[in-house]
Amino acid sequence: MEQKWKTAITKIEPNKVALRGIPIDELMGRLSFGQVVYLALRGELPSEAQGRLMDAILVSSVDHGATPPSALAARTVASGGAPLTTAVAAGIMAINRHHGGAIEGCMQVLLEAVQRQRERGQDAVTAAAELLAEYRAQKKRIPGYGHRVHTDDPRAVRLFALAEELGIAGDYVKMARALRSAMHEALGRDLPLNVDGAIATVLCEMGFPPELGNGLFAISRTVGLVAHVHEEQTRERPMRRIHPTAHEYDGPEERTLAGGG
């Protein structure tokens, strides 16, 4: 154990903490948290557009109510008396292949599809149709489309609009749309991209590796989990039976951003 092992994330020296080479105190007040997430995970500063998109990605998944396994696991663990961080951790452990995992799964499909399109010199529509046919023959699903609550996920719509507006939409956005059309044609059902699929698409545009999909989802959802655990700890009695769907919202009435702040 004599040799030192290496890490490229943060350098610590007396009175200096530098993330990917840049002193953290210099980042504070100048970059948004989303921009710093990009820096921490990619090792480089984002462009202005990438930084704004990263904030939007993280905002999109911040919470999805009390029904997802992550919220229920966190509340259930809190209900036994665990400290806040333990309960939040249980929520994060529920994020895996079936919960949030569509981000990684959809990224892998999009990366494969665009690579094949480029190698074969095809257009997106042809490449999408071919890939879909192969997936169906192998009984493989394409993750990131359809949602059990939303017929047209407003977060996905907004993320694509932002990607267009910020000039980040490219081959992956085209492919994501081509796959939707191909599925519509093949299955006779229109399954719009859900928020996981939309995040997957823009993460591909920004060059993130698929295995960070769940990592970004976890960073975002930790916020909602802290809110759920704190609500459970301050509002509910210990050891209650937590019904997964029989709950209702009693927070602030619907309002617009303009009216609110």
Residues 142-161 within binding reach of its own copies (CB under 8 A): 149-155, 157-159
7 binds its own copies (CB under 8 A): yes
CB of residue 64 vs its own copies: minimum separation in angstroms? 6
Identify whether the C-beta of residue 100 lies closer than 8 Å to the C-beta of residue 217.
yes
Task: For residue 34, list its beta bridge partners.
Answer: none
Site string for its own copies, 219-258 (x = CB under 8 A): xx-xxx-xxxxxx-x-xx-xxxxxxxxxxxxxxxxxxxx-
Q: Is 145 left (phi over 0), alpha (psi -120 to 50) or beta?
A: beta
Q: Minimum CB separation from its own copies for residue 175, in Å?
A: 22
Residue whose CB is less far from its own copies, 87 or 113: 87
Residue nearer to its own copies on the CB measure, 60 or 117: 60
Shortest distance (Å) from residue 107 CB to its own copies: 14
Instruction: Return d(Cα 38, Cα 211) in angstroms, integer.
Output: 15
Least distance (Å) between residue 45 CB and its own copies: 3
Nearby residues of 34 by Cβ (< 8 Å), 6 or more positions away: 51, 52, 54, 55, 56, 57, 58
Please name the residues in contact with 138: beta carbons below 8 A apart, sequence gap of 6 or more: none
Find the shortest distance in angstroms from Cβ 174 to its own copies: 21
Neighbour count for residue 230 (Cβ, 10 Å): 14
Q: Which of residues 29-58 bind its own copies (CB under 8 A)?
A: 29-34, 36-37, 40-41, 43-47, 52, 55-56, 58
Q: Residue 118, interface with its own copies (CB under 8 A)?
A: no
Residues 153-212 that bind its own copies (CB under 8 A): 153-155, 157-159, 162, 165, 211-212
Q: Which two tokens stand for residue 259?
A: 């009216």
Q: How many other CB atoms are found less than 10 A from the CB of residue 218?
A: 18
Question: Which one of the spans 59-67, 132-140, 167-175, 181-189 is the region binding its own copies (CB under 8 A)?
Answer: 59-67
Residue 139 interacting with its own copies (CB under 8 A): no
Distance spanning both ends of the chain, measured CA to CA: 55
